[in-house]
Amino acid sequence: MTSAQNSQSTFYEKLPSFDQFSQITSDDHYHDVPESWWVVITDVKGSTNAIKLGRYKDVNLTGAAGITAVLNVTGRTAVPFVFGGDGATILIPEELVEPVRKALGETQKIAKQAMGLELRVGLVPLRLIVKHQSKVQVAKYALTHNNFLAMFRGGGLSLAEKWVKSGGPDGSNFLLESTENASDSTLKGLSCRWKPLKSGNGKILSTLILAKGSEMAKNQTYKEFISELDRIFTGAVPEVSRPVSRRNLFYGSVLKNTWREARLAGQSGGSFFKVFFEKLRDVIIAKILFTLRKPMGGFSPETYISEMINNADYRKFDDMLRMVLDSSPGNIDRIRAYLEKQRKAGLLYYGLHISDQALMTCLVFAPSDNQHIHFIDGAGGGYALAALELKEQIKKDKVG
């Protein structure tokens, strides 16, 4: 690898980070992604129907699987990604395209065999997006030490998603076909062991906001909405509206957790029963540790739980604002009224979904070293069903 290539592959690692979510609109934090990089788009095909059948946990787990597979390939090389509920968006340097392509092909097979779900995967070269007068910029938001979320803007991700789903310029096809084999390490670290997170304030609100107009106008719209949340939640948005807290973290069923993880790992060619009993051992030990809340072997359950709360991705930005908020019904009414007023003023589109619980899907690489992140979505459909309302608003706007 040349020095120039190495500089590009470590581009995201070297970016300066910021730790105030209210600063997501600041131009100072965004940087152009190198044109040699690629955009990876994944989503569960037919996720809406699967959710209607009550399979939203499986949809979330499959949506997070693409991120897991890519991060297992990249190793210590940090890459920007965002979880969208039924899929994900990830950016990778050019030298990782082939190993990532293989890992995601394996993930498609696992999703089909273990979950009965079709994971659609597309890889789009960023240079083609730039050629079509769009761009991708990324900012690095620090959740905690060594744990970051990527924030994206520029419109390039939306264009890549459109090409993956509907075909690119000149009939280009960016879709990936699944492979025949899967390795033991493809989805290492992916788990979903915690019970659904019950709301402490009344309801869980999954929120999507897509601002309209110029980049400056969009930034102002997002900034004003975040300020409005401060007013609605009386200036304590993270503390009051965070859907993950000590009061609602309860470890799930040993057998259900073991079965779910063994199904994923058991598709890699090894003995399912061997994998099952290995997972059973791990889940039982974890259940005991989190029940007793006593440190063991350098691992502190109390520390880990504190890190979980801080490492939850309940607020993010990828050409639109995504939030999962624990809110009272009254505050939800205020949020909807504000957004509807802004929509009628031609400033934005929005989608909301209300449920009683949130779901948490975990990616754990080194639990004793704060190397874990926790993807949050609303139960019963969350982001996927909120997107239906947003798309309907866009459709009506175009027809009108």
Condensed to tens digits (0 to 9), the pLDDT of residues 255-299 reads: 988 888 888 876 655 577 888 898 899 999 999 999 988 888 888
Half-sphere exposure of 74 (CA within 13 A, CB side): 24
Task: Report if residue 232 sits inside a domain.
Answer: yes
Output the pLDDT for position 5. Answer: 45
Task: Report if residue 5 sits inside a domain.
Answer: no
Residues 376 and 358 sit within 8 Å (Cβ to Cβ): yes
Are 127 and 173 part of one and the same domain? yes
Per 3-state DSSP, the chain is made up of helix, strand and coil in percentages (nearest 5) of 50, 25, 25
CA distances from 331 to 43, 88, 229, 338 (A): 31, 29, 9, 11
Average pLDDT per consecutive 10 residues, the chain (400 residues; last block may be shorter): 53 93 93 96 94 92 94 84 94 94 92 92 96 94 90 94 90 80 75 94 97 93 94 78 94 90 70 85 92 87 94 94 96 97 97 97 88 94 95 87
Task: Report if residue 97 sits inside a domain.
Answer: yes
CA distances from 78 to 26, 121, 185 (A): 22, 20, 18
Residues 299 and 193 sit within 8 Å (Cβ to Cβ): no
The distance between the two most distant Cα atoms of the chain, rounded to a whole number of Å, is 63
Are 310 and 291 part of one and the same domain? no
Q: Which two tokens stand for residue 259?
A: 């079965």
CA 135 to chain centre: 21
Closest CA to 107 of 77, 62, 73: 62
Task: Report if residue 8 sits inside a domain.
Answer: no
Half-sphere exposure of 246 (CA within 13 A, CB side): 9
Residues 394 and 97 sit within 8 Å (Cβ to Cβ): no
Are 221 and 264 part of one and the same domain? no
The helix or strand, by DSSP H or E, that contains position 307, with its residue range, turns out to be helix 301-310
Are 123 and 38 part of one and the same domain? yes
Output the pLDDT for position 342. Answer: 98
Output the pLDDT for position 75. Answer: 79
Query: Could you give the CA distance from residue 377 to residue 325 in angstroms, rounded to a whole number?
Result: 10
Query: Could you give the CA distance from residue 132 to residue 366 in angstroms, rounded to a whole number?
Result: 41
Q: Which two tokens stand for residue 316?
A: 């993010």
Task: Report if residue 4 sits inside a domain.
Answer: no
Are 316 and 295 part of one and the same domain? no
Pairing between β-strand 17-18 and β-strand 137-144 as defined by DSSP bridges: parallel
Pick the last residue of a domain from 279, 303, 327.
303
Are 89 and 24 part of one and the same domain? yes
Output the pLDDT for position 182. Answer: 59
Closest CA to 40 of 15, 63, 16: 63
Output the pLDDT for position 367. Answer: 86
The total number of structural domains that make up the chain: 2
Q: How many CB atoms lie within 10 A of CB 13?
A: 12
Are 259 and 348 part of one and the same domain? no
Output the pLDDT for position 234. Answer: 84
Are 319 and 380 part of one and the same domain? yes
Please, is 255 exposed, middle or buried when counting C-beta atoms within 10 Å of its C-beta (0-12, 13-18, 19+)?
Answer: exposed
Output the pLDDT for position 102. Answer: 92
Output the pLDDT for position 297. Answer: 82
Query: Could you give the CA distance from residue 126 to residue 34 in angstroms, rounded to a whole number?
Result: 8
Pick the last residue of a domain from 303, 329, 344.
303
DSSP class of residue 177?
P
In sequence order, what DSSP letters do the residues of 11-24 get, joined into one string?
Answer: HHHHS-EE--GGGT
Q: Strand, coil or helix: what is 295? A: coil
Task: Report if residue 36 sits inside a domain.
Answer: yes
| β partners of residue 312 | 374
Task: Report if residue 6 sits inside a domain.
Answer: no
Task: Report if residue 219 sits inside a domain.
Answer: yes
Q: Which domain holds residue 291?
A: 254-303
Please, is 170 exposed, middle or buried when counting C-beta atoms within 10 Å of its C-beta (0-12, 13-18, 19+)?
Answer: exposed
Half-sphere exposure of 254 (CA within 13 A, CB side): 14
Residues 169 and 288 sit within 8 Å (Cβ to Cβ): no
Are 180 and 228 part of one and the same domain? yes
Are 94 and 135 part of one and the same domain? yes
In sequence order, what DSSP letters do the residues of 224-237 get, joined into one string?
Answer: HHHHHHHHHTTT-H
Residues 57 and 192 sit within 8 Å (Cβ to Cβ): yes
Are 377 and 340 part of one and the same domain? yes
Output the pLDDT for position 144. Answer: 87
Are 222 and 366 part of one and the same domain? yes
